[in-house]
Amino acid sequence: MEKVTRLASQNGVVIFTKSSCCLCYAVKILFQELGVNPTVHELDKDTVEGREMEKAIARLGCSAPIPVVYIGGKLVGSTNEVMSLHLSGSLIPLLKPYSATLS
Amino acid sequence: MNSPTSHFVPPRRMGVYDPIHQISMWEENFRNNVDLSASTLLIDDAEIKFDNQSEYASHGIPGTSKQYDQEANRLADKIQRRLAQNREAARKSRLRKKAYVQQLESCRVKLMQLEQEVDHAKQKGLHIGGTGLGSNSLDFAASVNSGITSFEMEYGHWLEERNRLTMALRNALNSHVSDIELGELVDGAMSHYFKLFGMKSAAAKADAFYVMSGMWKSSAERFFFWIGGFRPSEILKILVPRIETMTEQQRSDISNLGKSCQQAEDALSQGMDKLQQMVSESVAAGQLEEQTDTPHMSTAMERLAALVSFVNQADHLRQETLLQMSRILTKRQAARWLLALGEYFQSLQALSSFWANRPPKPA
């Protein structure tokens, strides 16, 4: 969990994914479309602590185990939460500090 | 068998016991019944006794003829009993045959009904039969069918209710009901759409391919299909002009909503493209004819499982679009918009019917 917190507190958009997860890929594309380049951590590529991180993230209780999104060190949630935020117009304000095109 | 006429007693003996009549009756019965041989024997005995008896009777010796009377009586009784038994056996046999034939008839009717049901289901596009993958395919297809079959039935009911709600909205808007009543109708219509998303989620678990195919929708609706349903940004574009009076803030909010919707749709579409690419790679890398537990096949299956997530995510987007619209618009505006939405889908269904029934082009 410590590694998760450490990685998550990085500035900007942090997404925990798996290389085989296409929904994770879709979320990454959305952020890129909004002018943000997210930091992507593929849990299946971390051979040492990947499984532990996966378990820790599952305990966070998001709508899905992956992808899990942090913005500016704060937990946003999974795909559902990101989509709801975006359609309600609340996502872009969160991204403004981190995007060249939005601010 | 022997000809019966040789056994007939000459007429001048009729006065004694009426044997001719008796014998002809017996022979009638024997032709109709089964047990002939023993009875014929009895007749022979009876004949002999009668023949013998006639010599004595005409000479008037009382003692001997009485003895023969008794024997003839006992014989007649036996014959009568045997005939009665035969008649009873024959009657029971006829009853059994009748019951059997009736059973066959009802089975035939039942079979015809079942065949009709199967044909009807096939026409509606249900996939009956296995996927061809192995011995378990038929069992799997049967359990999948029930999930899809129940979805199809539920969807039929859902459509009826959707049409009823659309008509209710039209009537309410035309008769100028209060905003509160309109609000209730709007909430009801929204809940009804959300109910469909729940139904689709269950159906996607049963068979995501089926939901993606849109076989449960009319052909014109299928033409506009995007990941298992309508494209949210499209319905915003074409139906918002139907809402007459809007504030500047509302127009701006709806414009932003449309833009966000488009961006979300693009992201999901690209995710779907990636999914297709990954599945085709794992299929091409492996050999499909092998069992399901080869690495390539299980990878392909794992990746395909993501299809359910995509269908759910697309429905979530549709739901969020509806929710946002209900927040931006007043109850009256939302009623007008939902009416337009219902009428739009009804028109697409009508278009499908017209297209299907169009006259064939001359050759």
Per-residue pLDDT of B96-119, as tens digits, reads 998 888 888 888 888 888 887 777
Question: B20-29, B308-317, B347-356 — which is least confidently predicted?
Answer: B20-29
Structural domain count, chain A: 1
**pLDDT given for residue B18 in this prediction:** 56
Please list every residue in chain B whose beta carbon sits closer than 8 Å to the beta carbon of residue A91: 260
Residue A71, domain member (yes or no): yes
Asked whether the CA dihedral B236, B238, B243, B249 is positive or negative, the reply is: positive
Range of the domain at A82: 2-98
| Cβ-Cβ contacts under 8 Å, B275 against chain A | 22
For B81-100, the three-class secondary structure string (H helix, E strand, C coil) is HHHHHHHHHHHHHHHHHHHH
SS3 state at B362: coil
Q: Which residue of A has its CA nearest to B233?
A: A87
Instruction: For chain B, positions 239-298, list CB contacts with chain A under 8 A.
Output: 253, 256-257, 260-261, 263-264, 266-268, 270-272, 274-275, 278
pLDDT of res. B64 = 64
Residue with the bigger pLDDT between B291 and B87: it is B87
Q: Give the domain CATH number at A7.
A: 3.40.30.10
Confidence at B68, pLDDT banded by 50, 70, 90? confident
B321: closest chain A residue by CA: A87
Is pLDDT of B355 > 70?
A: yes
**What confidence score (pLDDT) does residue B129 get?**
43
- Rounded CA separation A42/A7 (Å): 12
Taking only the tens place, the pLDDT of each residue in B127-182 is: 444 344 444 444 445 445 688 889 999 999 999 999 999 999 999 999 989 989 99
Q: Chain B residue closest to A29 (CA)? A: B267
Residues B197 and B315: beta-carbon distance below 8 Å: yes
Give the pLDDT band (50/70/90) at residue B1: very low
pLDDT in tens, B240-253: 888 878 999 999 99
DSSP assignment of B235-270 equals HHHHHGGG-----HHHHHHHHHHHHHHHHHHHHHHH
What is the per-residue pLDDT for B307?
A: 93
Average pLDDT over residues B6-12: 48
Q: For the residues B280-303, what does the mean pLDDT come to?
A: 71
Angstroms from B251 CA to nearest CA on chain A: 14
- Identify whether A8 is part of a domain: yes
From B270, B278, B306, residue closest to A29, measured CB to CB:
B270
Higher per-residue pLDDT: B50 or A35: A35
Provide the pLDDT for residue B71: 84
| pLDDT, position B234 | 93
* Residue A103 domain-assigned (yes or no): no
Confirm whether A62 is domain-assigned: yes
> What is chain B's mean pLDDT, rounded?
80
pLDDT band at B340, cuts 50/70/90? very high
Torsion of CA B112, B113, B118, B122, to 10 degrees: 100
Contact B292, B134 (CB under 8 A): yes
Shortest Cα–Cα distance, B320 to chain A (Å): 6
B309 inside 8 A of chain A by CB: yes
Separation CA B207–CA B213 (nearest Å): 10
Say whether pLDDT at B10 is over 80: no
pLDDT of residue B14: 44
Give the pLDDT mean for B187-202.
Answer: 96
In this prediction, residue B5 carries a pLDDT of 46
Distance from CA of A83 to the nearest CA of B (A): 7
Cross-chain residue pair B316–A80, CB shorter than 8 Å: yes
Question: Is residue A7 a part of any domain in this protein?
Answer: yes
Give the residue from chain A lying closest to B256, CA to CA. A89
Contact in structure between A25 and B310 (CB atoms under 8 Å)? no
Give residue-wise pLDDT tens across range B168-186. Answer: 999 999 998 998 999 999 9
Residues of chain A under the 70 pLDDT cut: 102-103
pLDDT in tens, B297-324: 777 787 888 999 999 999 999 999 999 9
pLDDT band for position B27 (50/70/90)? low
Largest CA distance in chain A: 39
- Is the per-residue pLDDT at B59 higher than 60? no
In a domain, A30, yes or no: yes
A77 pairs with which residues across the strands?
A69
pLDDT for res B135: 43
What is the crossing angle of helices B137-174 and B331-356, to 10°?
120
Task: Report the alpha-carbon distance of residue B51 to residue B172 in Å, rounded.
Answer: 107
Q: What is the ipTM for the molecules in this complex?
A: 0.94
